[in-house]
């Protein structure tokens, strides 16, 4: 009798121990599966997408591609864009931004969702246009490549660039060509990104630099980096709780390789000195960019998210683009899809595949539409009673 009870007791304890171990193993397994699933969803389904957005479109930093992303996002969701008034194609640039440069400001005040056209940042005026809960972001590029792109693109516009044959020549003696006093149009020749943020691109001093960087951090929740564009789009998507297709893109306003000037190593170092304000800006926000990546995306999840973006981009390229690559202006068949040409740059565009269904054709057209044409399109949609903007086709 006691032997039988003892056997049952031991059996009971063994069973309890087995069940406890099984539950622990299942719990560990389930926790592991959940932790694997969370990064895949990226939090997109748990939050409403951010729709009030101000993007400071800096010059020659891949900002035209970002603008196209924002235009598509706005059009898809029927959002209101703060567009340049009348015949203008920028919001007062290079002068400091004022509300008078926004079409319909007095009527639509408080209802704008997106602002992304070129302007020189003036926070008190911008805040009059955009809602209080607006998300502010911008993008920076290594000044070495930003200045090289500016030289080619603004060769005939900037007085400092006109009399020199190459950027290498300019950098050997920049003060021979650059004079800050006679023309504001020289902003493209020195610390152009600093200028776009609304500050004096000819000043210097450690306290001044640190003070400006702190102000920019107060105004902008996120600064992207052009050299890590795909990583930037992943970070933007995660931060704004957008869908993958909201940030997929085709590269716009890019140049043909034969117009790119190679700088000597000595002149690359000279750029850092000549554009010291931009260099300080770039270095600082390059560091904060990777801090944001670690906090919002995670370094382990980042490669998977970048791979998803690139796979979707390849898929849409295959759907939309004839020959799968960009073309120079003489090869672009649809004149409405030819990008504006400037300076010595040869700006590339795209030919679309034919015989696409209407919805697919519309989607593809929006992805390759140059910024001037897209702005004119949105302007006509928002202000059908006003004369359309005239875009010079080339």
Residue 350's nearest CA partner among 260, 253, 227, 257 is 253
* Secondary structure class of 165 (helix, strand, coil): coil
Helical pair 143-153 and 276-292, crossing angle rounded to 10 deg: 120
pLDDT of residue 181: 65
Average pLDDT in the 136-140 region?
98
* Four-residue CA torsion sign, 108, 112, 117, 121: positive
pLDDT at 31: 39
pLDDT tens by residue, 321-365: 998 888 888 888 988 898 887 767 788 999 999 999 999 999 999
**Per-residue confidence at 33, pLDDT binned at 50, 70, 90?**
very low
- Structural domains of the chain, ranges and CATH numbers in brackets: 43-382 (3.40.50.300)
Residue 43 has pLDDT above 70, yes or no: no
Res 292: pLDDT:
98
Strand 135-140 with 222-225, pairing: parallel
Helix (H) / strand (E) containing 124: helix 123-129
Predicted confidence (pLDDT) per residue in 246-261, tens digit? 999 999 988 777 778 8
Mean pLDDT, residues 88-96: 96
For 304-320, give one letter per residue: b (16+ CB within 10 A) or e: ebbebbeeebeebbeeb
- For the chain, the average pLDDT equals 88
Can you give the pLDDT at residue 12?
A: 46
| Whether the predicted pLDDT of 382 surpasses 50 | yes
Question: The sheet that has 53-56: what strands, in order across it?
Answer: 114-115, 53-56, 135-140, 222-225
How would residue 29 be classed by pLDDT, with cut points 50, 70 and 90? very low
Please tell me the predicted confidence (pLDDT) of residue 1: 42
The secondary structure element, H or E, covering residue 224 is strand 222-225
pLDDT of residue 309: 98
When mean pLDDT is compared across 2-16, 148-162, 190-204, 276-290, the lowest value belongs to 2-16
At 115 the three-state DSSP class reads strand
pLDDT mean over 49-57? 98
**Residue-level pLDDT at 260:** 84
Percent of the chain with pLDDT over 70: 87
Residue 393 pLDDT? 59
Residue-level pLDDT at 2: 37
348 vs 339: CA distance, rounded Å: 7
Is the pLDDT at 303 greater than 50? The verdict is yes
Q: What is the pLDDT of residue 4?
A: 39
> CB under 8 Å to 124, separation ≥6 — which residues?
none
The predicted structure's pLDDT at residue 47: 78
pLDDT of residue 246: 98
Given a cut of 70, whether residue 5 has pLDDT beyond it is no
224 phi, psi to nearest 5 deg:
-90, 165
Task: Please provide the DSSP assignment of 280-329 as one string.
Answer: HHHHHHHHHHHHHIIIII-TTTHHHHHHHHHHHHHHHHHHHBGGGS-B-G
Instruction: Return the number of other C-beta atoms located less than 10 Å from residue 113's C-beta.
Output: 21
By the 8 A CB rule, do 216 and 284 touch? no
């Amino acid at each position: 009798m006691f032997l039988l009870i003892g056997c049952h007791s031991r059996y009971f304890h063994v069973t309890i121990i087995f069940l406890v171990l099984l539950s622990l193993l299942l719990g560990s397994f389930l926790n592991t599966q959940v932790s694997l699933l969370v990064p895949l969803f990226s939090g997109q389904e748990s939050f409403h997408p951010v729709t009030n957005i101000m993007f400071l479109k800096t010059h020659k930093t891949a900002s035209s591609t970002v603008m196209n992303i924002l235009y598509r996002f706005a059009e898809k969701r029927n959002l209101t864009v703060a567009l340049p008034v009348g015949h203008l194609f920028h919001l007062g640039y290079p002068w400091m931004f004022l509300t008078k440069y926004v079409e319909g400001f007095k009527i639509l005040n408080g209802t704008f969702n997106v602002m992304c056209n070129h302007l020189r940042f003036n926070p008190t005026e911008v805040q009059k246009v955009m809602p209080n809960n607006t998300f502010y972001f911008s993008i920076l590029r290594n000044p070495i490549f930003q200045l090289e792109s500016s030289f080619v693109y603004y060769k005939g516009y900037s007085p400092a660039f006109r009399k020199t044959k190459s950027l290498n020549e300019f950098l050997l003696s920049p003060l021979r060509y650059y004079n800050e006093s006679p023309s504001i149009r020289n902003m493209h020749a020195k610390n152009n990104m600093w200028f776009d943020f609304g500050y004096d691109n000819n000043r210097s001093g450690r306290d001044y630099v640190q003070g400006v960087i702190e102000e920019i951090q107060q105004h902008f929740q996120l600064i992207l980096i052009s050299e890590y564009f795909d990583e930037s789009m992943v970070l933007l998507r995660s931060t704004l709780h957008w869908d993958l297709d909201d940030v997929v893109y085709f590269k716009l306003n890019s140049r043909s390789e034969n117009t790119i000037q190679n700088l000597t190593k000595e002149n690359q170092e000279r750029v850092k000195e000549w554009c010291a304000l931009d260099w300080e800006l770039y270095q600082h926000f390059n560091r904060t960019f990777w801090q944001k990546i670690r906090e919002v995306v995670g370094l382990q999840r980042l490669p998977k998210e970048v791979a998803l973006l690139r796979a979707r981009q390849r898929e849409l390229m295959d759907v939309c683009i004839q020959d799968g690559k960009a073309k120079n202006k003489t090869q672009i068949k649809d004149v409405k899809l030819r990008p504006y040409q400037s300076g010595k740059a040869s700006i590339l565009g795209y030919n679309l595949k034919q015989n696409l269904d209407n919805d697919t054709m519309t989607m593809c057209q929006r992805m390759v539409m140059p910024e001037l044409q897209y702005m004119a399109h949105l302007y006509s949609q928002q202000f059908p009673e006003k004369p359309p903007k005239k875009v010079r086709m080339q």
